[in-house]
Structure 1
Amino acid sequence: MTGARIREIRTQRGLTVAQLAEAAGVSTGLISQVERDRTDPSLETLRKIAKVLQLPLFSLFQEEDAKTVSVIRADSRMLVASPVGGITYSRISPGHGRLEMLKGHLPPGGYSAAEPWSHPSEECILVIEGQLVVEVSGVRHQLGVGDSCYFHSSLPHRYLNLTEEPVDFVIAVTPPSY
């Protein structure tokens, strides 16, 4: 399903598999396998593809029929996990519109990215369980349950769990970005 969406958007943009692969810094074989749903790309690979296609990351999973009111059931949320850092995100917003809401989970010692990264959005994060470090422009902000942090995502950032307990949090991103 994701692969077909990537192929559809790539062809709409007039890109070949080789052009997308080169711009994303991955192999043509990987793009080909992803488009045929033969492999599940990592979160980092999906971010690279979304950036080249100039789309918000989660729009690669977007449902086409935008409704006036959307109910997202807890047991049917779209889930994205990264094999590096251990972070998982589930989308709690419908996947269309100008606001994206995600529930994040980091295991002990986990992180959202090996190195801070940026994208053209604004974010607000709320810790619902555990302790989270939000690193923005090299400055670390320690958050506990109920604490929140707002920042421009154009600043290099990442999330870290430096504790021995898992952490759960909610992120609002506007506009949705890669």
Structure 2
Amino acid sequence: MQAESGFDVGGRLRQLRLARGLSQRELAKRAGVTNSTISLIEQNSVSPSVSSLKKILDALPVSISAFFAGDEPSAPKAFYRAEELTEIGDGRLSFRLVAARRPERGMSIIHERYPPGADTGEEMLEHEGEEGGVVVAGEIEITVNGESEVLRAGDAYYFDSRLPHRFRNLGEAECVIVSANTPPGFSDGGQELHHV
């Protein structure tokens, strides 16, 4: 995550962990990950998957939006250049969040890129809110509540995020989606990348 976005994931995680008086061991225990996972992330030796980062932030608890916003939210503005979008993907899946540092953001808008074979994971995702999007390029298989559909450029989706769901690129080309979700939160009220 750091290389693409210029964001110091490891440093930010360490700062938040220490501010809460937690050892790496205690945070790992709360998050259900290994001690070495926390250590390697804090050293920026590995880039955590979005699902791993979500588990760790849930254990703090800190929202993904607050994590990437840091301590200095930016003043509201109307326009964002491509380089101003915050990368919150895992290095394989690219999720670029619009207005990540905007205070009191009421929704998440995400520019998503799924390379061929990319998958949000075998474990179906469920969280509070609603989400929708439009496929801009390529194709994606989306499963919602046991029903699967392959969507192509121009096709769209919209569903209750509490229903179990999964995204998979079974095609041979990259899939690009522009999506939105509201509220922009983890199921416990923080900010979340909509499918993780």
> Where on the TM-score scale, by shorter chain, does this alignment land: which range?
0.7 to 0.9
Aligned residues: 176
Relative to structure 2, which stretch is displaced further, 36-45 or 126-135?
A: 36-45
Supply the AA of the counterpart residue of 1:88: S
SS in structure 1 of the partner of residue 25 of structure 2: helix
Supply the AA of the counterpart residue of 1:47: K
Give CA-to-partner distance per residue, 1:41-64, whole Å, 9 cap, x none: 222211211222344334321142
Please tell me the root mean square deviation across aligned C-alpha atoms, in Å: 2.3
Change (3 A) 1:73 1:49: same
Corresponding residue number in structure 1 for 2:167: 159
Q: 1:70 & 1:31 partners in 2: Cα distance?
A: 36
Contact conserved, 1:129 with 1:168, CA < 8 A, in 2? yes
Contact conserved, 1:71 with 1:94, CA < 8 A, in 2? no
Change (3 A) 1:141 1:93: farther
Percent same amino acid among aligned pairs?
31
Q: 1:114 & 1:160 partners in 2: Cα distance?
A: 10
Q: 1:53 & 1:138 partners in 2: Cα distance?
A: 32
Deviation at 1:13, TM superposition (A): 4.4
Contact conserved, 1:119 with 1:153, CA < 8 A, in 2? yes
Structure 2: state its 5+ residue gaps. 1-7, 187-191
**Residue 24 of structure 2 is aligned with which of 17, 30, 48?**
17
Q: How does 1:1-178 map to 2 (within 5 A)?
A: 1-63=8-70, 64-69=72-77, 71-82=79-90, 86-96=92-102, 97-176=105-184, 177=186, 178=192
Contact conserved, 2:68 with 2:100, CA < 8 A, in 1? no
Structure 1: state its 5+ residue gaps. none
Q: 1:14 & 1:22 partners in 2: Cα distance?
A: 14
Q: 1:136 & 1:108 partners in 2: Cα distance?
A: 20
Q: 2:34 & 2:175 partners in 1: Cα distance?
A: 34
Relative to structure 2, which stretch is displaced further, 111-120 or 121-130?
A: 111-120
Deviation at 1:12, TM superposition (A): 4.5
